[in-house]
Structures are given as structure tokens and as C-alpha cells.
């Protein structure tokens, strides 16, 4: 079966420093590397999908975001490529954007491109936009408690429609 994890970055795999532009500031959330390793070993494709509105707001550059991602991949220490693909949505809220979450566009494109089975795919994130993108794409949403805001603030989580895990590693441990 073709299956995949779509992963948020800030607050899910690394600590959310808000508009992080300095690779030296990258800190992995404990268990992230082990979780990704486990998912990979189970045959999941891994896609990183990150909103980086700091670029659209003029606070840092796309190159900064690439450097931060490269540092994260270095710290993860997984076989290259760690991710099948990385999608950065650089726009600020309100700017026209194809991929900025909660847009499902990236997820839908990858489902088509890799003939993924939607019912076997997950989007994991800490924010309403992550949950929104998952649900709009018709895949399972998973919330984690490693972000800045309690997931219960997300209506779908509060309603019990989306499962919550302490962190990505705890979710990955449940994958079979
Ligand atoms: Mg996040």
C-alpha cells in the first residue's frame, strides 16, 4: 500500500521558535528522529509541509528557511533523503498562496503523484491549519501537544474528531 505522513515542522518536529531564521536555533523535539525512522521502516513516505510566513512578511528569506531545514535534517541523522519532498509555503496570511496550510493542495498533489491511498495517510501538526489541511484533503489528522497552543483550542480536536498525542514520537509508536 502506498502511504505517507505529511508533517508540520515548527511545534511538531522542532521547537517552535516563531520566524526561526537561524539554523543554530534548531532544536529537535525529543522522539522526532525515532518516530520518523519508525515510519520510514514501516514504508511510509515522508513529506514536510511547512508554512513560513516570516518570508512573506519580510522577516527572513527563503534561503534562511532552507538552511533551517538542512540543520533539522542534519540533527535528525536519518538516511538521505530524510524527506521525500519538502514544501515551504512562504506567503503571509492574506497573500495569494497555493500551498499555505490549511490549503490541501500539496497533499492532494502528492496523493495523485505517488498513487497514495488517502485512508492510509496522516497529516501531523500542532496548529489549526494542519488539521484543516488534512481534513480538506480527506486524510487523517493528528494533533500533537508540542506546539505553543493546547490542541484542545482546535475545534475538531475539542469535538473529539481528531486524536491528540503528547508528541510525534508517541503517535509514530502507534503506527503499524
Ligand atoms: Mg506548527
pLDDT tens-digit series, residues 46-64 = 999 999 999 999 999 999 9
Residue 130 belongs to a domain: yes
Find the 141 Cα to ligand 1 centroid distance in Å: 13
Determine the pLDDT at residue 161: 96
Find the 12 Cα to ligand 1 centroid distance in Å: 6
Find the 58 Cα to ligand 1 centroid distance in Å: 19
Q: Which domain holds residue 112?
A: 9-172
Residue 3 belongs to a domain: no
Q: Which residues, given as ranges, of the chain have pLDDT below 70?
A: none
Domain count, the chain: 1
Which of 97, 8, 5, 13 shows the shortest CA–CA distance to 55?
A: 97
Give the catalytic positions in this structure: 8, 10
Residue 4 belongs to a domain: no
Find the 1 Cα to ligand 1 centroid distance in Å: 28
Give CA separation, 32 vs 60, 95, 115, in Å: 25, 31, 26
* CA angle in degrees (0–180, nearest 5) for 105-140-155: 90
CATH number at residue 88: 3.40.50.1000
Neighbours of ion ligand 1 (CB under 5 A): 8, 10-11, 126-127
Residue 98 belongs to a domain: yes
- Angular region, 151: left φ>0, alpha ψ -120 to 50, beta rest: alpha
Please write down the long-range contacts of 61-69, taking CB distance under 8 Å and 24 or more positions apart: 61/21, 62/88, 62/90, 64/21, 64/22, 65/21, 65/90, 67/23, 68/20, 68/21, 68/22, 68/23, 68/25, 68/26, 69/9
Amino acid at each position: 500500500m502506498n502511504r505517507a505522513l505529511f508533517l508540520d515542522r515548527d511545534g511538531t518536529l522542532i521547537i517552535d521558535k516563531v520566524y526561526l531564521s537561524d539554523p543554530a536555533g534548531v532544536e529537535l523535539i525529543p522522539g522526532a528522529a525515532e518516530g520518523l525512522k519508525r515510519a520510514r521502516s514501516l514504508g511510509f513516505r515522508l513529506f514536510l509541509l511547512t508554512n513560513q510566513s516570516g518570508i512573506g512578511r519580510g522577516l527572513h528569506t527563503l534561503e534562511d528557511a532552507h538552511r533551517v531545514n538542512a540543520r533539522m535534517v542534519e540533527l535528525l541523522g536519518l538516511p538521505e533523503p530524510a524527506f521525500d519532498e519538502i514544501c515551504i509555503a512562504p506567503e503571509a496570511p492574506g497573500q495569494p498562496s497555493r500551498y499555505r496550510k490549511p490549503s490541501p493542495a500539496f497533499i492532494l498533489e502528492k496523493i495523485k503523484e505517488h498513487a497514495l491511498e488517502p485512508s492510509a495517510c496522516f497529516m501531523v501538526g500542532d496548529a489549526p491549519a494542519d488539521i484543516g489541511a488534512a481534513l480538506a484533503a480527506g486524510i487523517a489528522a493528528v494533533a500533537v501537544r508540542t506546539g505553543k497552543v493546547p490542541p484542545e483550542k482546535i475545534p475538531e480536536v475539542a469535538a473529539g474528531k481528531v486524536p491528540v498525542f503528547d508528541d510525534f514520537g508517541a503517535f509514530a509508536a502507534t503506527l503499524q
